[in-house]
Structure 1
Amino acid sequence: MVIETGLQRLEGGPLQVSVRTDLHGCKGRMLDWWFKFFETTQHIKWWHPVDHVEHRGWDEHWKRGENYYGASIHAVESLAEIPPVAAKLKFHDPVEVYGEAALKDAFGAGAVSAIIAARIGFGDNVKMDVNKDPITGQMLHVARDTSWGCVLRSRFVLGLEPGAEHVPEKVGLALMQHCYTEFTFLSRMLASLYYGERANGEEVPMPW
């Protein structure tokens, strides 16, 4: 992940969007838990009070508090100044991306504390493959814990469909702003929500 925050046009035309967000007071395990928790429009409005419009539901593979791998979500959201549009995301086990051995080493060394991987598509008629994965885009969020919280590095690749027109850079810039803003908002309340829900059975660390 060479570029921390910015755009890069990849060979063949896809647009890569890179975003770094510092999540103060949050750890990677909290971020992973969040994807097993949120399930309503109110929840996603906590995440981004302006851009997130509607949560249209998870499919049957999502299990609250247990699993989001293999699950798909439908929602409606704006991307900064770009008006609301439907979105579909299908989440994958990071093992499919990095392999079991590499993941074990990265987590064991503390280089990584959470990975959220998905295929993504925007619009009312998202093109999908035989596995119901959107074919137009990819998303990756990689967290690393620090003494003050965690660093989140996000990567999106848009315009992957063969023969597709190039995704305009203004869309990439809007997605960059959206991503940074939503995770900044999330960082302001995630730790309290995590401990309030007694997530993972953890004791609440009292500030006094």
Structure 2
Amino acid sequence: MNDRAFEPDISHIDDLLQITPLRLETGISRLPSGCLVVACRTDMHGCSGRMLDWWFKFFETTQHIKCWHPHDHVSHHGWDARWKKGENYIGASIEAVESLADIPPVTAKLKFHDPRELFDPAQLEKAFAEKRASAAVYARIGFGEHVQLDVHGDPLDGEMVHLARDTPFGCVLRSRFLLGRSSADPARELPDALGLALLRHCYTEFSYLSRFLPSLYYGEHANGEAAPLPW
């Protein structure tokens, strides 16, 4: 488990597993270190956590990510060998080029991890059992041409988590980003405008995704599920 890097501004990260509203659902905040925390809540109508988890095992081309965000996503530079289509993205790394709203395109590198490394494993398991969570996607992230990596290939700058909970209308997605861990002076080097641009990017990409994900999921016969008939 990591060092609870998201604390204390949004309390324990495990609070995301609760249904009740949090002090920060959508917005930005600063840690005492100056690191930037970005929170975003997106309603994904007609979607489910299992669809979201499947999406990360499916997308692999520039066209795929352009559908995800037609404005901001520029190019997909590929997954590494740990990614297995339709099977696994945990432990895999990805590199892509994307803009963040009004911020020009930049390289982004992510390495995905088991969400039990972020959340308390027992609390996460209980949340899934009680249907307070239906998917959790966790990654270490970095932006720029020269992303700092540790000896395991993990970006050092930040973290990202997307937590889905199924609802009668689809699913609600809580996203959190932490930026600036590798910066000597994150309060100066990462302005609030960057966090707000990332917030817009996140809300927009998952709003777009929700428009086509159900049809794609059923069209690909994902998880062996049959599409429901509207008539």
Q: Which interval holds the TM-score relative to the shorter structure? A: over 0.9
Aligned residue in 2 for 1:76: 97
Distance in structure 2 (CA, Å) of the matches to 1:53 and 1:170: 21
CA contact (8 A) 2:45 2:210 kept: yes
Counterpart among 212, 222, 227 of residue 189 in structure 1? 212
Q: Which runs of 5+ in 1 are unaligned?
A: none
RMSD: 0.9
Aligned residues: 208
Q: Which amino acid aligns with 2:228?
A: P
TM-score (norm 1): 0.98
TM-score (norm 2): 0.88
Say whether residues 1:119 and 2:140 are aligned partners. yes
CA contact (8 A) 2:141 2:155 kept: yes
CA contact (8 A) 2:162 2:176 kept: yes
Aligned-pair CA distance for 1:97: 1.5
Moved more, 177-186 or 91-100: 91-100
Q: Which amino acid aligns with 1:185?
A: Y
Q: Which amino acid aligns with 2:217?
A: Y
Say whether residues 1:62 and 2:83 are aligned partners. yes
Q: Which runs of 5+ in 2 are unaligned?
A: 1-15, 17-21
For 2:207, what is the secondary structure of its paired residue?
Answer: helix
Q: Which amino acid aligns with 2:32?
A: E
Distance in structure 2 (CA, Å) of the matches to 1:164 and 1:60: 35
Aligned-pair CA distance for 1:174: 0.3
Aligned residue in 1 for 2:202: 179
Distance in structure 2 (CA, Å) of the matches to 1:7 and 1:168: 11
Counterpart among 93, 105, 129 of residue 126 in structure 2? 105
Matches within 5 A, 1:1-208: 1=16, 2=22, 3-161=24-182, 163-166=184-187, 167-208=190-231
Q: Which amino acid aligns with 1:158?
A: L
Distance in structure 2 (CA, Å) of the matches to 1:27 and 1:78: 27
For 1:172, what is the secondary structure of its paired residue?
Answer: helix
Deviation readout 1:179-207 (Å, 9 max, x if unpaired):
00000000000000000000000111111
Aligned residue in 1 for 2:9: none
Distance in structure 2 (CA, Å) of the matches to 1:170 and 1:138: 18
Runs of 4+ in 1 over 6 A off after TM superposition: none
For 1:12, what is the secondary structure of its paired residue?
Answer: coil
